[in-house]
Amino acid sequence: MKKIITYLFSLVLIVSIGLMEACKKNEPQIERPLAISSYHPNSGNAGTLVTILGTGLVAKGKVMFGDKEAEVLNFNDTSLVVRAPESGQTGKMTFVTTDKTIEIGNYTYQSLSVHSFYPMNGASGMQIRISGEGFGNTNAPAEVTVNGVKASIVSVSDTLIVAEVPEKAGSGPVAVMVNGKTSTGANFRFQAVTTIKPLTGGAGTKVTISGEGFEGVLTSNLVDFNGKTAKVLEATATKLVVEAPDDVATGPVAVTINGQKTVGPLFTKVPLPIIESVTPLSGPKGLDMTINGINFSTFPDENIVTINGVVAPVKTATANKLTLIIPGGTGDGKVMISVNDQKADGPQFKDQNLGITVVSPATGLAGTKVTITGAGFSSVATENIVTFNGVAATVESATETSLVVITPASLTSGQLVVKRAALEARAPNEFLRAGVQTLFGGPGSGNNINYASTSIAVDSKGNVYVSNRADATIRRITPDGNMTVWAGTPNVFGNINGTLAEATFGSINSIVIDANDNMYVSESSSSAIVRKITPDGTVSNYKTGLSYPGQLFLNKAGEVYITQLYYGILKLYANGATDRVFGGSVADFCRPVIDAAGNIYYLNDDYNPFLSMISGTGGTTYEYIGQSNDGYEDGPRQSARFGPGLVGALIDQEGNLLIYDKWNYSIRKYNFSNGEVSTMMKASNGYQDGSFDQAKFSAAVNGFAMGRDGSIYILDLNNSAVRKLFLR
């Protein structure tokens, strides 16, 4: 019985569905209202084919030219094609049905007629071929307009005109004027790509293309990025939204419709964004947040920042920095950024009332006074627990937004943390135990570091070498600060090779040490020369007969270069060959440096406040870092300012360019990835060791070098000292 009931229920259901479908089929189709939108051409002889466009045209009706009925050749719901009747007269055209008459427009019987043109869409500057009759045998040249804008005529015959679509014509009818007569044909669809946004991005970036003449059907718009096909996501007559292809490359964006291509602005492929730091890593609603990194968009709305998935609108944007206000209520989670649909992950953020925004100074030694700025601190000093790499510091004073602390005696580099009750906030960056100490010498020490000390170098064991042109020696300072004469005999000049004990040298200009502890020495004497000293102490000639031998420097592979004052820069090979890489003027006391790409950064005059660059690819030279007027200013490389007479440059362990700016008593850092100049150390005039903000140097600095551990050594002449900057 149960099976029978189930069967009967199924049968009833099937019959019901069938009846519903039958009812749908019998429902009357909704007819579109009768309306006329346009017609073409508006003139011609009897027999001319006229197209009428509109809706509901399948309804019974006839087309009248005055009182003459036209023959209908073809029709559907949106168009009719009729033949202009014989013996018709100029006048009104109408569409007549059993119950209404609709005026179509005027038709002029004349020999001039625009029958068709091809192509029917396209961009300015393209040529269209207009077919018709009555174009020739004129008293004056035929004229053509597109949407009322005059077009340039390429050629004319009685039945064909070739014309160029004018600039900014817009969509509208194509008309021909001959001997005072006018004939109007169909509408030309004007194509233009006016803007694309964004202008930068990568694979998957969604780009909005604004313009005109697009198709409303997605598949009718073909979009390419520098020849690579993109996916069309949305389409209207004036806007397309597309997705950049996987293999997108820098180049123009183009739209092709009905075979007609319109080229728009350039889209630039950029690398993925990178978040380098987020400040603060915790904090309450309303606190400012700064995100530093690279490959951001300079348009704020093209950078979408989320905290734990909650969008935080960007206030200001540069290629390297974004600012925003913490929205609050985000919960704990990652800071993420999407730059034109290119995503990057940042650090974890804690949604709480306690946060650290600035630590100043960011480096120091034991006993350094540090100001911590942020939010949510207790105004009672003892209620704030501050630690440096896990060691507690003394909180000297406190407000809700600022703490002043003294770094602990056992300070080491590491994380700075502030705790208040159950809350904990971390500084955006590690606090580094860094400062200045004198490795050897000092004012009044009576040592051999003086005005004649010319160059400094460091070997793999941390030994520091100082050359002296006045007594023809190279002295070595051990890591514990002991100095001895390492090469040459004091005040004995010559060019004898052999062991260190036997060798003599001339007036030494420069020394440099490669990764294998080979030293190269440039000398000015009766025979200008470059010598080589191997790790076992063997001295030999590397290159003789040089003019104006100056500063030696090495590339990453250990190949040797030397400056030659007015003669430029020479590359020296082990077999004695040379290659002149630059023929202009080069400062003779500023040591150049070569980056990983082979670009050379040098000072072309002793007192210039900017570094120039020789491109490693094409040898082109140009001013690269700094302005031509001296001063002191950080920022983008072309607006940064330095003091006159830079001492030299180094590449640090992170790949940044370090520049010694002696008249500003500072080491400036240029970040290749973001193009920004910043200050690594700012000292003042005099002599004092300590943290960077306390240190003092003389203005007579004659070179600096970097050890394998990243420590920097400075030849401080007026203080008769070798100073060491340790960074951790």
pLDDT tens per residue across span 80-94 = 999 999 988 899 999
Q: Which of 351, 382, 413 is the last residue of a domain?
A: 351
Three-class SS of residue 35?
strand
Tell whether 538 and 444 lie within a shared domain.
yes
Question: Would the CA dihedral through 370, 376, 381, 382 be positive or negative?
Answer: negative
Three-class SS of residue 664?
helix
CB neighbour class for 525 (10 Å; exposed up to 12, middle 13-18, buried from 19): middle
Q: Which CATH number is 603's domain given?
A: 2.120.10.30
Is 410 domain-assigned? Answer: yes
Give how far Cα 173 sits from Cα of 144, 146, 395, Å: 10, 6, 81
Q: Are 354 and 376 in contact (CB under 8 A)?
A: yes
Q: Count the domains in the chain.
A: 5
Please name which of 279, 287, 428 lies closest in space to residue 353, comparing C-alpha atoms: 287
- CB-hemisphere CA count at 13 Å for 555? 15
CA–chain centroid gap for 556, Å, is 27
The CA distance from 382 to 370, in Å, is 16
Tell whether 164 and 136 lie within a shared domain.
yes
Confidence at residue 591, expressed as pLDDT on a 0 to 100 scale = 95
CB neighbour class for 416 (10 Å; exposed up to 12, middle 13-18, buried from 19): buried
Kindly report, residue by residue over 589-600, the tens digit of the pLDDT.
899 999 999 999
Confidence at residue 509, expressed as pLDDT on a 0 to 100 scale = 95
Tell whether 581 and 690 lie within a shared domain.
yes
Confidence at residue 115, expressed as pLDDT on a 0 to 100 scale = 96
The CA distance from 323 to 92, in Å, is 67
Query: The tokens 């309306």 sit on which residue?
Result: 35
Strands laid side by side in the 239-243 sheet: 192-197, 206-212, 239-243, 231-235
SS (H, E, C) 582-623: ECCCCCCCCECEECCCCCEEECCCCCCCCEEEECCCCCCEEE
Confidence at residue 31, expressed as pLDDT on a 0 to 100 scale = 63
Tell whether 505 and 393 lie within a shared domain.
no
**Which residues span the domain enclosing 645?**
435-726
Parts of the chain with a pLDDT under 50 = 1-26, 28
Is 24 domain-assigned? Answer: no
Tell whether 196 and 317 lie within a shared domain.
no
Q: Which of 167, 190, 213 is the last residue of a domain?
A: 190
Element (H, E) at 2: helix 2-26
Q: Which of 243, 269, 295 is the last residue of a domain?
A: 269
SS (H, E, C) 5-27: HHHHHHHHHHHHHHHHHHHHHHC
| Residue 167 φ then ψ, to 5° | -60, 140
Is 25 domain-assigned? Answer: no
How many other CB atoms are found less than 10 A from the CB of residue 608? 21
Give how far Cα 483 sits from Cα of 448, 474, 533, Å: 9, 10, 19
Enumerate helices (H) and strands (E) in the chain, giving the number of each.
Answer: 1, 74
Exposure string of 244-278, with b = 16+ CB inside 10 Å and e = fewer, is: bbeebeebebbbbbeebebebeebebbeebbbbeb
Joined tokens for residue 584: 């202009």
Tell whether 577 and 557 lie within a shared domain.
yes
Please name which of 649, 724, 689 lies closest in space to residue 463, comparing C-alpha atoms: 724
Is 300 domain-assigned? Answer: yes
Please name which of 498, 497, 563, 551 lies closest in space to residue 527, comparing C-alpha atoms: 497
Kindly report, residue by residue over 28-49, the tens digit of the pLDDT.
455 678 899 999 999 999 999 9
Tell whether 470 and 526 lie within a shared domain.
yes
Q: Where are the beta strands (DSSP E) in 354-445?
A: 355-360, 363-364, 369-375, 385-388, 391-392, 394-398, 402-406, 416-420, 423-426, 432-433, 435-441
The CA distance from 642 to 356, in Å, is 32
Is 23 domain-assigned? Answer: no
Tell whether 501 and 442 lie within a shared domain.
yes
Reported for 567-575, long-range contacts at CB under 8 A and 24+ positions apart, including other chains, are 569/600, 569/602, 569/614, 570/546, 572/530, 572/542, 572/543, 574/542
Tell whether 505 and 364 lie within a shared domain.
no
Tell whether 398 and 410 lie within a shared domain.
yes
Is 344 domain-assigned? Answer: yes
CB neighbour class for 606 (10 Å; exposed up to 12, middle 13-18, buried from 19): middle
Joined tokens for residue 185: 């044909």
Question: Is the link from the previous residue into 41 a cis peptide, with omega within 30 of 0?
Answer: yes
Global pTM? 0.79
Q: Are 321 and 296 in contact (CB under 8 A)?
A: yes
Tell whether 645 and 565 lie within a shared domain.
yes
* Amino acid at position 327, single letter: P
Tell whether 393 and 524 lie within a shared domain.
no
Is 476 domain-assigned? Answer: yes
Joined tokens for residue 622: 């140009």
Is 719 domain-assigned? Answer: yes
Confidence at residue 452, expressed as pLDDT on a 0 to 100 scale = 95
Q: Which CATH number is 278's domain given?
A: 2.60.40.10
